[in-house]
Amino acid sequence: MLFLFATWRGYGFKKEYLDIDSTHYIDYQLQKLNWQRKIITLFTPVYSLLLWLILVMYTIEVTKKGSAEFRYSALIVTSIYIFGVTFWAQFKKKKKQLARIDELLTELKNMQKELS
């Protein structure tokens, strides 16, 4: 639930009023982009770790009556899957997202300087 709130906060759903100064709107968008950067770099790895922990506890509970070999193989497969997806997303998807966020931040800061 906390991750959902943090992600929702990163989106800029705000009514646009034409009488508000443009620098205020740019500041608002800069805050949102910085928040999205924080979500990608900090909250997503924590979320993945918590998800792994929950799945490990669930796997231990479900495989309690199974053999030790089955239990350990289930834990290993679950761990490899969660960490594999996390690392793949980190190196493929998140790098592109962070690069795009950095481009937008630079463009908005330049626009802010021009308006000042």
- pLDDT, tens digit, for every residue of 5-44? 666 666 665 656 667 777 778 888 888 888 888 888 888 8
Answer whether residue 16 is part of any domain. no
d(CA 45, CA 42): 6
Answer whether residue 15 is part of any domain. no
Q: Which domain holds residue 39?
A: 2-6+23-115
Number of domains the chain is built from: 1
Amino acid identity for residue 10 in this structure:
G
Structural contact between residues 63 and 74, judged by C-beta atoms closer than 8 angstroms: yes
Structural contact between residues 26 and 104, judged by C-beta atoms closer than 8 angstroms: no
| Tens digit of each residue's pLDDT (9 = 90 or more) over 58-76 | 999 999 998 999 999 999 9
Answer whether residue 74 is part of any domain. yes
Answer whether residue 18 is part of any domain. no
CA 113 to each of CA 17, 23, 26, 67, 105: distance values in angstroms, whole numbers, following the listed order: 22, 9, 11, 66, 12
- Which residues contact residue 32 at a Cβ distance below 8 angstroms, ignoring those fewer than 6 apart? 10, 11, 12
Answer whether residue 28 is part of any domain. yes
